[in-house]
Structure 1
Amino acid sequence: MEYTEAWVEERARCGYEQGRATFDVRADRSALLVIDMQDEFVRPGWSPYWVPGATRMVPTLRRLIATCRARSVPVIWTVFDDTHLGLDRPHALRHLPHGEARWRRPGPAEVWPELGYRADEPLIRKPSYGAFYDTPLDTMLRNLSRDTVVITGTLTNYCCGTTARQAYERGYHVVFGSDVTATDDESRQEPELAVLRKGFASVLSAEEITERLAGARPDGGERPADHCSQ
């Protein structure tokens, strides 16, 4: 077979738009990561970093959190915070547009109260975008015997997407919530989901995640076929 330019372009496009991972999502092997749903990103009008889309998807995320708790899926929270006097933060951040902002939160980062964070659930204060960078997350997941992470929160194309890539590189199965993640420019949401869908994660809605955690499989119990690999 000769692989024409049109054929390889269409195959790539199919992967971005329709590619589907084939691993099972099991409640007893999964952990829910709630990434950076903190005041400055979720509390309306409180900071210049407010992500309106993150505020809007809180009810859906709360339902997924409740589902995970009911099925004994550990819920692990993160906040993007000033840790170790900033000495553990990547040095280059200060030279990038996002690092130039002058606004400073008045105290430690806190999960927005509407999310219902519980003190008996781990809260990781991380110094950079990815939740695995210079944190105990990998150790925690291994101690919990979890090999699948369900990623939710904000921002889709920064902290959530970076965490998905870091998890993939560490051998985890990655589930990425399509409607329980949000970013500051909504036109960036689907392009990030497309990249993750093709190369890093199973991209599912909160309803689909709930069904998988309950033991359901798509397509009448069959594993999803990858229509883009032909």
Structure 2
Amino acid sequence: MSFELDPNRTALVVIDIMKRVFSWESQPHPIQEVVSQTTRLVNAFRQAESFVVLVRVASVDGKDFLDPITDPLPSTLLPHALAEEPEDWSDILPALGSHPLDHLVTKHQWGAFFGTDLDLQLRRRNIDTIVLCGISTNIGVETTAREAYQHGYNQVFATDAMNAYSEEEHRHTCTYILPRMGRIRSTDEIVAAVSGKPEASHDQA
């Protein structure tokens, strides 16, 4: 089955590829590989003159972050810290570069739609399809995907440009959740499609 994307109706939405991603361990891909694949997607969408949205989570004092009462998480579900977070932890990774037409979304919870102008910016540009990638697969990416699904967008998931705290969490979302809301594709397939060179598709996690 051929896989095609209309660059005029498709946006790339990159979730939380910030400087903090190097301060804790994520799975199942080497973090530099996720960054590299994301950079390839960003560059391809820019070259196709498609809309690129870079999403980050940030706060001045932390008081606008959600803080519900929860049960303690098992240690296996907590990220493994590798280093102290830099002061500019919420900055988008420089490896992604920048372009004057990129749109920056600052969110204060897991999903990129709630409380932001993302839906407005997409609809004003007549975009009906979004390509999602980023960190983490089962939190920021999955929550944004669920919101996009409820807003009626078609979705494509670059699962080789995603990571989670654990491989189990990543695999669960890619196997049981994302296929209910869109199509699973590799970075290679997405780059080819947005560049006007569609290839035969296959699942990639």
**TM-score, normalised on structure 1?**
0.72
Q: Deviations over 1:31-75 (max 9, x none)?
A: 00111000111x3xxx3x343633322222212211111111111
Equivalent residues in 2 for 1:116-195 (5 A)?
116-118=97-99, 120-195=101-176
Query: Which stretch has the larger CA shift, 125-134 or 183-192?
Result: 183-192
C-alpha separation in 2, matches of 1:115 and 1:216: 23
**Bigger Rg over Cα:** 1
Aligned to 1:15: none
Counterpart-to-counterpart distance in 2, 1:167 and 1:122: 17
1:79 counterpart residue number: 56
Paired amino acid for 1:67: A
Deviation at 1:218, TM superposition (A): 5.8
Give the root-mean-square deviation of aligned CA atoms.
2.9
Q: Distance in 2 between matches of 1:106 and 1:93?
A: 27
Rate the CA distance shift 1:168–1:64 in 2: closer, same or farther, 3 A. same
Percent of pairs identical after alignment?
27
How many aligned positions are there?
192
Who is 2:46 aligned against? 69
Query: Which residue identity lines up with residue 177 of structure 2 in the other structure?
Result: L
Following superposition, which runs of at least 4 residues in structure 1 exceed 4 angstroms of deviation? 93-98, 215-219
Deviations 1:156-187 (A, max 9, x none): 11101111111011000011111111112123
The answer on whether the counterparts of 1:130 and 1:160 sit within 8 Å (CA) in structure 2 is yes
Deviation by residue 1:64-99 (Cα, 9 ceiling, x = unmatched): 21111111111110111115x44433231777646x
- Classify 1:93/1:206 alpha carbon distance in 2 versus 1 (closer, same or farther; 3 Å): farther
Q: What is residue 51 of structure 1 aligned with on the other side?
A: 26
Residue equivalent to 1:29: 9
CA contact (8 A) 1:54 1:181 kept: no
Q: Where do 5+ consecutive residues of structure 2 fail to align?
A: none
Q: Is the 8 A contact 1:173 1:201 kept in 2?
A: yes
For residues 194 and 28 of structure 1, do their structure 2 counterparts lie closer, same or farther at Cα, with a shift above 3 Å needed?
same
CA distance in 1, matches of 2:185, 2:69: 31
Cα distance in 2, alignment partners of residues 55 and 187 from structure 1:
20
Secondary structure at 1:91 match in 2? coil
Change (3 A) 1:93 1:123: farther
